[in-house]
Amino acid sequence: MDAAILVGSLAALATTTSFVPQAWKVIRTRDTAALSAGMYALRTLAILLWLIYGLLLGQWPLIVTNSIESMQSRGG
């Protein structure tokens, strides 16, 4: 496996799973008061841009992980 693909895949995995602790806390506590709407909007925009970038390049690690993240950001 190419080093760039490996690093990209690891970065994508880390990015994809980075929101899991926050999501788990919200699920457990049912408290969303600590979430920043600005941070959430910016993160969602970044995910969408990464997805478009991956589609333009035809890079599956970017496409798959950012598609998953996009679904997580929508809550579904």
Q: Where are the domains of the chain?
A: 3-74
Whether the full predicted model's pTM is greater than 0.85, yes or no, is no
Say what the pLDDT of residue 44 is: 82
User: Among candidates 23, 3, 5, 1, which has minimal Cα distance to 64?
Assistant: 5
Q: What's CA 17's distance to the chain center, in Å?
A: 7
Q: How confident is the model at residue 70 (pLDDT cuts 50, 70, 90)?
A: confident
pLDDT of residue 75: 63
Spell out the CATH class of 3-74: mainly alpha
**pLDDT surpasses 70 at 76:** no
Give how far Cα 3 sits from Cα of 7, 49, 50, 59, Å. Answer: 6, 23, 20, 14
